């Protein structure tokens, strides 16, 4: 059984190479970043803070049927630099360590750039799973979020050979959680929401299996 | 002459250009386009004086959500908007572009829910907004073979509309509508895929940045913020396509 599976896998990889790649289905891997995760500046104009900076590792699957495409995948966004409030300008909030996984499903239009590659733009729903922690003066609160939201993507893919292309993408997602912590010591309610909105940049390469 | 009049005059000039016979535009291709799409986050913060003074929220919708165990609140999401409209374009000397458009946008999802007022009572919250805008842009438009054109353009828009909010609880009862206009800056990246020689499928990402001056309504004050991204799909029709055979552009 194990051998059959391995044989099928090898055939699946090798067989398409015997045909000319139609650039129909590309599987990609990319790295990127998301600056100012949490958008702490939206807490108020007077908040003095160092924005959180996340690195992104992701995989993508893009199905092209020119001029249309569908792109999905999964991105894991991990903390590289904590978000930090430098004074008491945001109440009890002191530090953020927000991570998340986003699973988008974009549809849009490809624009062929002669024989060198494609420029593409699309939009669609995103399923976002947030985790990590938010720190107040007194406590550390673990985050667990599941959010359906909207995003859009625009990118360029350039041909390296018949099967491999490099791609660069700009993605924007708009998403905000329910309140997670209390930042007002005079109250008992939670009033600080995690804002996952913002820009992401990706750079990677894809392998066209068909 | 103020800038509003300049934009309105330019709008009329370009509409006249659209009606002119083709030989007058030997150096240009004329195109009409219609598009519709979404605004993922509409209206900016939507803060107002009453929210700050009576509810204790300085940053509008970014800080309006409050929740407490045992109280049935409902999250108030940033409004998602629908946008749709049309535009007239002139592609000049094959690589430059000038365009004027007219778009209507309104919030269709989000902006409503239940939070808590300063006394801890359940407070019903509603934010909504609509506006129209007339962008006037110029930029670079690059054809790739006969079937693709990618355009980067920027300019100003005349935008006008209304932002409304409402907060109701046992202790708070506030309602206001703020109408005004502004000249937001616009930048747009768009692509056209020619389905045949004169019709193209289009997509565009546009970013508007700008808000009105502070507007007063009864005892409340706020601004109407046009800032945000728009993503649209559409169709464009090139009126003079027969004179500019796209195959020659290869």
Average pLDDT value for residue range B139-148:
90
pLDDT of res. A201: 97
SS (H, E, C) chain B: CCHHHHHHHHHHHHHHHHHCCHHHHCCEEEEEEEEEEEECCCCCCCCEHHHHHHHCCCCHHHCCCCECCCCCCECCCCCEEEEEEEEEEEEECCCEEEEEEEEEEEEEECCEEEEECCCCCEEEEEEEEEEEEEEEEEEEEEEECCCEEEEEEEEEEEEEEEEEEEEECCCCEEEEEEEEEECCEEEEEEEEEECCCCEEEEEEEEEEECECCCEEECCEEECCECCEEEEEEEEEEECCHHHCCHHHHC
Cα B2 to Cα B34: distance, rounded to the nearest angstrom: 29
pLDDT bucket at A162, cuts 50 / 70 / 90: confident
b/e map B187-218, b = 16+ CB within 10 Å: ebbbbbbbeeebebbbbbbbbbebbbeebebe
Residue B41: which of A110, A189, A197 has the nearest Cβ? A197
Residue A11 has pLDDT above 80, yes or no: no
Residue of B nearest to A109 (CA): B203
Q: What was the pLDDT predicted at A16?
A: 47
Q: Give the residue-averaged pLDDT of B234-248.
A: 72
Computed over every residue of chain B, the mean pLDDT equals: 90
Residue B15: pLDDT band (50, 70, 90) is confident
pLDDT of residue A14: 47
Instruction: For this complex, say whether ipTM is above 0.90.
Output: no
Are A121 and B65 in contact (CB < 8 Å)?
no
Q: Which of B62, B77, B144 sits opposite A112 (nearest CB)?
A: B144
**Inter-chain CB proximity A150 and B37 less than 8 Å:** no
Mark yes or no for CB contact B37/A179 under 8 Å.
no
Q: Are A152 and B45 inside 8 Å of each other by CB?
A: no
């Amino acid at each position: 059984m194990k051998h059959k599976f391995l044989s099928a896998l090898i055939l699946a990889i090798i067989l398409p190479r015997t045909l000319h790649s139609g650039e129909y289905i590309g599987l990609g891997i990319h790295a990127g970043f998301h600056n100012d995760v949490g958008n702490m500046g939206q807490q108020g104009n007077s908040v003095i803070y160092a924005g959180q900076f996340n690195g992104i590792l992701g995989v993508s699957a893009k199905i092209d049927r020119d001029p249309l495409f569908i792109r999905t995948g999964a991105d894991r966004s991990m903390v590289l630099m904590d978000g930090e409030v430098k004074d008491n300008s945001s109440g009890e909030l002191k530090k953020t360590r927000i991570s998340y996984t986003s699973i988008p499903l974009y549809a849009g239009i490809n624009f062929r750039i002669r024989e060198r590659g494609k420029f593409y733009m699309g939009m669609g729903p995103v399923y976002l799973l947030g985790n990590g922690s938010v720190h107040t003066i007194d406590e550390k609160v673990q985050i667990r979020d599941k959010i359906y939201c909207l995003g859009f993507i625009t990118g360029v893919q350039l041909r390296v050979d018949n099967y491999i292309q490099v791609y660069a993408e700009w993605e924007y997602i708009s998403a905000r959680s329910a309140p997670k912590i209390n930042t007002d010591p005079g109250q008992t309610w939670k009033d600080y929401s995690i804002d996952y909105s913002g820009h992401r940049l990706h750079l990677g390469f894809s392998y066209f299996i068909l | 002459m103020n800038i509003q009049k300049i934009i309105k005059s330019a709008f009329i000039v370009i509409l006249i250009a659209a009606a002119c016979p083709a030989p007058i535009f030997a150096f240009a291709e004329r195109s009409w386009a219609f598009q519709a799409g979404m605004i993922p986050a509409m209206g900016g913060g939507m803060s107002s004086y009453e929210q700050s003074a009576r509810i204790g929220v300085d940053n509008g919708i970014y800080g309006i959500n409050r929740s407490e165990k045992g109280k049935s609140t409902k999250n108030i999401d940033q409004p998602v908007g629908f946008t749709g409209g049309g535009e007239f374009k002139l592609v000049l000397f094959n690589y430059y572009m000038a365009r004027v458009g007219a778009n209507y946008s309104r919030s269709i999802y989000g902006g409503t829910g239940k939070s808590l007022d300063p006394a801890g009572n359940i407070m019903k919250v509603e934010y909504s907004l609509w506006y129209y805008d007339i962008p006037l842009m110029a930029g670079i438009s690059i054809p790739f073979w006969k079937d693709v054109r990618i355009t980067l353009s920027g300019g100003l828009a005349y935008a006008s509309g209304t932002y409304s909010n409402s907060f109701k609880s046992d202790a708070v009862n506030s309602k206001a509508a703020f109408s005004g206009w502004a000249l937001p800056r616009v930048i747009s990246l768009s692509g056209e895929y020619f389905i045949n020689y004169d019709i193209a499928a289009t997509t565009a990402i546009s970013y508007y940045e700008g808000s009105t001056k502070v507007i007063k309504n009864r005892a409340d004050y706020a601004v109407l913020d046009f800032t945000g991204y728009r993503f649209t799909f559409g169709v464009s029709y090139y009126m003079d396509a027969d004179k500019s055979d796209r195959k020659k552009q290869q």
